[in-house]
Amino acid sequence: MRQTRSRSRALLLISAATFFSLSVWFSTNAISGALEVEKSIDESSIALLTIAVQLGFVFGTLVIAFTNLSDLINARTMFAISAVLAAATNLLVIPLESTPMLIAARFATGAFLGGVYPPAMKIISGWYTTGRGFALGTMVGALTIGSGSPHLLRSVFSENWQAVIIGSSVLAVLGGLVLKFLVADGPHDVRGAKFNPRYLIGALTKRGPALALTGYLGHQWEIYAMWTWIGSFMLYVVGEKPLLDDGLELASALTFLVFAFGAAACVYAGVWSEKIGRTATASIAMVVSGGIASFVGFLSPDSTVLIVFIVVLVMIWGAAVVADSAQFSTAMTELSDPVYRGTMLTFQTGIGFALTVVTIWLLPIIRDSSGWGWAFAMLAIGPLVGTIAMMRLRSIPEATMLAGGRR
């Protein structure tokens, strides 16, 4: 009972720290309109700012893996230092004027976030051997709502874009302090082996890890492009409609709700994955998200009824698009040798976030040439591939290693 209370407290604090620290990820997306005016940045450059964060994250994750920093520095210390540095580089958005310098600052923010998210997963794994799906689902939920928090700040400070940057940086510092000083290392913490490409190659020739990775890549194809551009879509849907006096405030608030619904879905999916299995949970989520992505952009917000309908669909999409996220990380930890868990998660995370660059870049190009409908429909390719991979994984013997045999 005492250990249960301890790990519940640890989960709550780690999730809070993750929520606070990830607030800097989409800070520039929340203020994209202001940046276009204040710093003469066009929309294609706004996309580059987000892509820079994604590539920086991949870079930071791989540097930590290849230098074995996760074994040289305690995970809680690494999280705290990285969160503070991410907050500092996020603040550079305010004084910097040139687009190349802004891109460099966002790359640095992403690189330091590479020292936040993976260590948080490692710390969670040290506290949970059973119920890991629920635990990681809760943490990913915190990541989700944290990523959306700049949109909430934007809805509050609609006339002051600098407050969004400052507020997200303050939250990131707070997150680092919470994890460093209020969380202890878990009793099941395993010292990982050095990043081992040889083990990686061998593991990926096995059907279980290969299919889990394929499912994750399908998930990543969709989610970050959706998160990057959903604010612009909500502004398109409600921005020029007389639902509220300020369309920007409404669009920002609705965008935050997309992330909030996603956070709740992560926790719910984590619970259900322990009952019906990882592959079933992930497949249901991807069928829903891919289905909505395939048609929601074709709907035209010509009336209040249609606007409400589109908004409801987007909220469901926001829930489904991330509900499967923790299942892929959890599945990879269950299918891998515990000593090389870090190697597998690092590779999965690195290649997955590298893939997000493609769809973040493609979506506005397709939207400008063919409209929101085809832009979002392109994202549905990922869930389709991911669902096929998960159903294939469910059918093989290795799937009994997932969720205590529930596949």
What sign results for the dihedral spanned by CA atoms 118, 350, 353, 86?
positive
Q: Are 179 and 19 in contact (CB under 8 A)?
A: no
Tens digits of residue pLDDT in 335-350: 776 666 666 777 788 8
Q: Are 296 and 317 in contact (CB under 8 A)?
A: yes
Q: Which helix (H) or strand (E) holds 316?
A: helix 304-323
pLDDT (0 to 100) of residue 173 = 97
Phi-psi domain of 186 (left: phi exceeds 0; alpha: psi -120 through 50; beta: other): beta
The secondary structure of 254-290 as a DSSP string is: HHHHHHHHHHHHHHHHHHHHHHH-HHHHHHHHHHHHH
**What domains lie within the chain, and their CATH numbers?**
1-187 (1.20.1250.20), 192-407 (1.20.1250.20)
Question: CB-side exposure of 350: number of CA atoms within 13 Å?
Answer: 17
pLDDT at position 194 over 70 = no
Q: Which residue blocks in 68-131 are alpha helix, DSSP H?
A: 69-72, 75-91, 99-113, 117-127
pLDDT at position 245 over 80 = no
pLDDT at position 72 over 80 = no
Question: CB-side exposure of 116: number of CA atoms within 13 Å?
Answer: 38
CA–CA distance, 221 with 88 (Å, rounded to integer): 29
- The Cβ of residue 199 has, within 10 Å, a number of other Cβ atoms equal to 16
pLDDT (0 to 100) of residue 296 = 96
Of 170-179, 219-228, 243-252, 286-295, the range with the lowest mean pLDDT is 243-252
pLDDT (0 to 100) of residue 275 = 82
pTM of the model: 0.85
pLDDT at position 374 over 60 = yes
3-state secondary structure of 353: helix
Tens digits of residue pLDDT in 289-299: 999 999 999 99
Q: Are 194 and 338 in contact (CB under 8 A)?
A: no
